[in-house]
Structure 1
Amino acid sequence: MPRRLLKLSLLAVLALALPGAAVTAHAQTPEANAAQADGLQQKTLYETGASGRFLMGGQWQFKLDPSGNGSVADFAANASTTGWANVAVPNAWNAKDYSDASFTGGVGWYRKAFHLPSAKKAFQWIVRFESVNYRARVYLNGKLVGKNTGAYLPFEIRLPNGYLKRGGTNLLAVRVDSRRFPTDFPPSGLSSTGVPTGGWWNYGGLLREVYLREVDSVDIKDVAVLPDLPCGSCDASLTYRATLRNYGDKAKKIKLRARLGAKTIGLGETTLAPGEARKFSRKIGVKNPKTWSPTSPYLYNTSITARSGDDALQTYTVRTGIRSIKVVDGHLMLNGKPLHFRGFGTHEDSLDKGFAIDDAQREQQIQWAREAGATLLRSHYPLHPYYYERLDELGMLAWTEVPVYSVKTQYLKKRIVRQLAAKELESAVRTNINHPSIIVWSAGNELSARPGPVQGYYIDRAVKLAKSIDPTRPVGLAVAGYPSAGCQPEYGPLDVIGINEYFGWYSGPNGQIADQTTLSDYLDSVRQCYPNKAIVITESGAEANRSGPVEERGTYEFQQAFINYHYGIYATKPWLSGAIWWTLEEFAVKPGWEGGNPWPAPPIHQKGLITMAGVKKPAFADMQRIYKGTVQWGP
């Protein structure tokens, strides 16, 4: 049984005792018992990360703020339960509501009463939110302690000692504003006819789990374990990077040690003054490494521990793979062998929970993709960490993108918007840097097909920033495929160009992609424009929701013919590094969505090969035959 599934099967017995469990146990203390009664559990839904994490499960309360101007006294500091609904977090408050008002967004408040797992004064406490959509203000016992803007990526807020009740009940409250603007990621607003616009359904809430993190004076952050594999049969090296910060009120003498399997590695020693942070880095050799690949996804167990004297203050756990991913002569090469991957796009969405899905549904999506023969997943935003850990374990690949999607040039030209977009990519890289499954960092999707200097500036800045953090992976961008776009010098800094092609489905500007028989020549023209860049089909698709004539758009038969024609063309382009169908499973887009289907079912995007109810369409079998018949890595 795979390691992950074994752990899940033992969940009730073992309380999911993952490597992320706290260094210091809190069994049988009054504080620990009170915290457990509040629903705090010393476990995580994924492994990578620092010790001392407590899942803030159990009962939360939720209340809408219709005016959007509710006072702190009413929502964050008032113990009254009037009008509050009991919910479980993760939670999307507008799941199952596909109205215009739901998509436009609003303001809601979440709150949770909790006790600290330990009253020890040396401990600092940090609350970690895995994803909040979209603007969050966080209050502790009625006091504002932090803010964040943006979804799909985690953020952390340290809880000030002066606001904490170490031996009593604390009240954590979060104001969530899900209203989007044209400068957000993805942008939203109104069309010229007053219809809400946006990239996918705007679910509001605490969309992924919340953790309380214990810090015994010293915290380990920004951990990276980066492999360097010169060739498939070469010796390798690993570069360890980490940042230490002393949150205590006294200086600490620290030894930083790493473990790689049974091997201990000294990363350095230092004395940190209160509030001081310091970076550590060391490169080590690994002889005769067991490499990570789709056919043999070997993972090394490694960790970094900060010690003060005999005390282990914190441990950061990583499972990593040694592999290389490079662009050589215009092709993506994994461990020196060419990739021709076949994959699916995916969204975190469900009919009953909206975005706030659980690991069981994530696992189902992954298994559907494997059943179809896919080796890669792509989304418009960084996926939940569970996906990446499972892809690591299974030898699958990931195209990891930030939601800088269809931002209009008039907004992208604003310096602050470009800076925020680049920061989004920086956060995605730092968060997910240790997953060998990730082979491309994507700086965005479907910006203007004729970039110009504004987009060129963003691309250049984003690529340089990503590579300054992670020099081991290529950086790409997904673009809308139109023949009239021509060759674009602004794409010069990119290593990989993703083409979203819908030839024969949409008509495109001036009807230039209406005829699918022009696809082959178009792809050849892209290759001529960018002979030294890896080219990937990042999207292709056709809606299907009924049986009917093969020539009728929106039928299962049309979708089957579309797949067979397009993938037949891809097979004649050996220089293509991969192709991705958009999407594996249906998801909600926006009010009035029709997607080119004459008989749509808005707001559901129906290009998926599996319905939101979990039913496979006839084209699933066609794709399975094609994917399993394709050599996706090597020789």
Structure 2
Amino acid sequence: MTRRSLATTVAAAFAAACLLPAAAPAAGPAVPAAVPLATGWQKLADPGNEGVGAGYWRPDTRHTWKPAVVPSVITGATTEAAFKGSVEWYRTTFTAPPATAGFTDDVHFEQVRRTAQVWLNGVALGRHEDPYVPFDLPTRGALRPGARNVLVVRVDNRKSSRVREGWWNWGGITRPVSLVPRGALELRDAGVLSDVRCADGGGDCRAAARLDGTLVNRSDHPIAAPRVTLALSDGRTLTRTFAARSLAPGEETHVQFELPVPDAHLWSPQDPHLYGVTVTTSAGDVAQQVDRWRTGLRSVTVEDGMLNLNGRQLQLRGAAVQEDVPGRGPALTDADIAQTVAELKAVHANVTRAHYLLNPKLLDALDAAGIMVWSQAPIYHRDVLLETPAKRDTALATVRGTILQARNHPSVITHSVANELSPVPDTTPGTAAFLAAARSLAASLDPTIPVSVDLLSYPGYARQRAYAAFPLLGINSYFGWYTGKAEHSVAKLSDLGPYLDHMRRLYPTQGLEVTEFGAESTFAGPASEKETYAFQTDYLRRVLAIIEQRPFIGGAIYWTLREFAVKPHWVGGVSRPGVERNSIHHKGLITYDGRRKPAWSLAEHDFASTADYRSVSPAAAAGVADETGGPGRLEALGLALGLLLLLALDGWVIAGVWRRRARARSGRGVAGTRSGQRAEATQEAAGARAA
């Protein structure tokens, strides 16, 4: 036995020893529930940014606060002044529940845009600067159990001009806030990943639920018997317990184990089956944390340059979303979430996409509706912010936070680490370093689905090693709408087909999806005039036809389902003399106030008539097509010549083998014959390898 195989055997034996065959329910007092901090909020504007010095953070401040709702935005206006951002203070007074022995509390924020500073009863809890991922702040003894508490949050959404984003600069506490009890033992970033392996065509799949997380000893004493129990239920209940090693005070350890799921009911758009998940973290026999959610099991892979779900080649059709409702921005209500999903279903979308981590309630709803998600970290046009290691670390923290929240959702079929970075990362050192680190990070956090990156689509650039390292590439195409750059023009829609053919030649093994395309529309007019409803409809029809002619392109996601606020005086790719430009991005299939445009009907028909899966062989799908939909003439000629060469080579090898065998039979002795046969076998093998 080699040292490597011995190490593998020992590791497997250790893992098996840590997995207990049965898990009894944890004894002891029940884990206290989280407390939503949803009422009693007030806010105070701070236009001069004087609040810290003026003591707005003190619980007894006498400044005039106004009633507020949380979640909410600082202002729902889309004016130039509002886009620049401001400082706003929020506070709420609440009575904390009585203390539970062995438990402390964190304040959990699902989202604050952009920067949050937090005080509890006048004690600074901390600061958070990422506007798109959730965060926790320990109360550090500042909480008064069973008594009155004052939580104060300073929100600053003034945005640096170096931070480029293709959406409105909303500010505020835009998702819920809660008080979360934490035991002596905490399981952080708990994820249940879908480890499913399917044969080609999806006929035979084996499944397991893989739990991944980090156990942390938050106490001041050792914990001798930490355990994590995973239970999966959908009418039957499957359970497995992992016994971790002892942890010293403040120590943490990575936990990962699998729960086999025989005869698994797989999640798919046609059948979005969900399992109930319960993860119980215990110190000995005492429960310290109980997490519950729903998830699904499915396989997502890239095979032969095609994106597959449960072993079948996908055909994506859908529209992207921005979390932006007039007057509320990203502070979505349950009704807003239901409406978004209903509109995606009505247009027959099987996929959607966003530039940042979606609201967890929206992701839950997409799971249940069977709508796939191209999930993406908001690293958008940020090459200048990737130049130094410190800046790259900030971006990687955003990638990490996005994936840890998205990976529990079966609707998420990829983790895209960035959008529209430099078209030449190989000669942009900071971008290349970020892409390599982000790809590795994403693969380590969730190895069960492909990692992707979304590209600026300009013709005339060479293959980039930094992009070729990703198994899945999103193509953001605006051929025929924007003009592009000098020597990299995208002005003609007719150039899209040849560009896609070229991309397949540059990246022959990657899955290729058109993840963004669209045209603005605001008024009635002829299809020959940009920004008319007829132009948008014709543009959508032509792009979808070009994609349909190329089976190596796995799908198309229109930008966007609904219009949204982007920035003041947005031009959108076309200027009309005398027309006042507003802040609304008008490429949506639905107007900002909810009216369906004519292009909606075309999208609805195309999406409904496109099967979720493609019924072609991987070899056929990998071919390069011309504008008529058949193989390109040069490619067809190359295939024919290659086939003739292969047949000729086969004939030469076979003739040589027969000649050698004839010589071997012509009077050699037994020993000579055996020696000749060995030589023939060697020569045959070499010939086969050469062929």
Interval of TM-score (by shorter of Structure 1 and Structure 2): 0.7 to 0.9
1:223 counterpart = 2:190: yes
Q: CA deviation at 1:513?
A: 1.2
1:500-511 map, 5 Å: 500-510=476-486
Distance (whole Å) between structure 1 residues aligned to residue 536 and residue 568 of structure 2: 23
CA RMSD of aligned residues (A): 2.0
Where in structure 2 are there 5+ consecutive unaligned residues? 1-27, 616-691
Q: CA deviation at 1:120?
A: 3.1
1:28-63 deviation line (CA, Å, top 9, x unaligned): xxxxxxxxxxxxxxxxxxxxxx97222211121111
1:519 counterpart = 2:499: no
1:361 counterpart = 2:353: no
Aligned pair partner of 1:479 in 455, 479, 496: 455
Aligned pair partner of 1:277 in 247, 252, 255: 252
Distance (whole Å) between structure 2 residues aligned to residue 289 and residue 493 of structure 1: 32
> Which residue in 2 is equivalent to 1:375?
350
Aligned length: 574
SS of match in other structure, 1:61 = strand
> Which residue in 1 is equivalent to 2:510?
533
Q: CA deviation at 1:600?
A: 6.2
1:42-121 map, 5 Å: 52-71=33-52, 74-80=55-61, 82-96=63-77, 98-121=78-101
Distance (whole Å) between structure 1 residues aligned to residue 220 and residue 466 of structure 2: 50
> Which residue in 2 is equivalent to 1:595?
572
SS of match in other structure, 1:484 = coil
Q: CA deviation at 1:396?
A: 1.3
Q: CA deviation at 1:78?
A: 4.2
In terms of fraction of residues, the more helix-rich structure is 2
SS of match in other structure, 2:239 = strand
Q: Do the aligned partners of 2:168 and 2:566 also contact (CA within 8 Å) in 1? A: yes
1:455 counterpart = 2:431: yes
> Which residue in 2 is equivalent to 1:241?
212
1:478-627 map, 5 Å: 478-510=454-486, 512-597=489-574, 598=576, 599=579, 601-627=581-607
Q: What TM-score, normalized to structure 2?
A: 0.80
Distance (whole Å) between structure 1 residues aligned to residue 458 and residue 328 of structure 2: 36
SS of match in other structure, 2:512 = strand
Distance (whole Å) between structure 1 residues aligned to residue 396 and residue 244 of structure 2: 33
Distance (whole Å) between structure 1 residues aligned to residue 490 and residue 375 of structure 2: 27
Aligned pair partner of 1:258 in 224, 230, 244: 230
Which has the larger displacement, 133-142 or 410-419? 410-419
> Which residue in 2 is equivalent to 1:35?
none
1:388 counterpart = 2:363: yes
User: What amino acid does structure 2 have at the position aligned with 1:425?
Assistant: V
Q: Do the aligned partners of 2:70 and 2:173 also contact (CA within 8 Å) in 1? A: yes
User: What amino acid does structure 1 have at the position aligned with 2:420?
Assistant: E
Q: Do the aligned partners of 1:443 and 1:477 also contact (CA within 8 Å) in 2? A: yes
Q: Do the aligned partners of 1:487 and 1:529 also contact (CA within 8 Å) in 2? A: yes
SS of match in other structure, 1:608 = coil
Q: Do the aligned partners of 1:51 and 1:315 also contact (CA within 8 Å) in 2? A: no
Identify if the C-alpha distance between structure 1 residues 110 and 72 changes in structure 2 by more than 3 Å, giving closer, same or farther.
Answer: farther
Aligned pair partner of 2:281 in 306, 327, 342: 306
Distance (whole Å) between structure 1 residues aligned to residue 495 and residue 254 of structure 2: 53
Q: CA deviation at 1:168?
A: 2.0
Which has the larger displacement, 536-545 or 278-287? 278-287
Distance (whole Å) between structure 2 residues aligned to residue 128 and residue 457 of structure 1: 32
Distance (whole Å) between structure 1 residues aligned to residue 466 and residue 478 of structure 2: 23
Distance (whole Å) between structure 1 residues aligned to residue 119 and residue 572 of structure 2: 41
Q: CA deviation at 1:551?
A: 1.1
Q: CA deviation at 1:593?
A: 0.3
User: What amino acid does structure 1 have at the position aligned with 2:406?
Assistant: N
User: What amino acid does structure 1 have at the position aligned with 2:551?
Assistant: P
Larger radius of gyration: 2
User: What amino acid does structure 2 have at the position aligned with 1:90?
Assistant: P
1:26-45 map, 5 Å: none
Aligned pair partner of 2:418 in 441, 444, 460: 444
Aligned pair partner of 2:133 in 139, 153, 176: 153
User: What amino acid does structure 1 have at the position aligned with 2:391?
Assistant: V
Q: CA deviation at 1:247?
A: 2.9
User: What amino acid does structure 1 have at the position aligned with 2:332?
Assistant: I
Q: Do the aligned partners of 2:536 and 2:599 also contact (CA within 8 Å) in 1? A: yes
> Which residue in 1 is equivalent to 2:668?
none
Distance (whole Å) between structure 1 residues aligned to residue 580 and residue 362 of structure 2: 30
Q: CA deviation at 1:121?
A: 4.7
Q: CA deviation at 1:595?
A: 0.1
Q: CA deviation at 1:412?
A: 2.0
1:611-633 deviation line (CA, Å, top 9, x unaligned): 12111111101100111111122
Distance (whole Å) between structure 1 residues aligned to residue 101 and residue 480 of structure 2: 66
- Same amino acid, percent of matched pairs: 35
Q: What TM-score, normalized to structure 1?
A: 0.87
1:628 counterpart = 2:629: no
Distance (whole Å) between structure 2 residues aligned to residue 53 and residue 132 of structure 1: 19
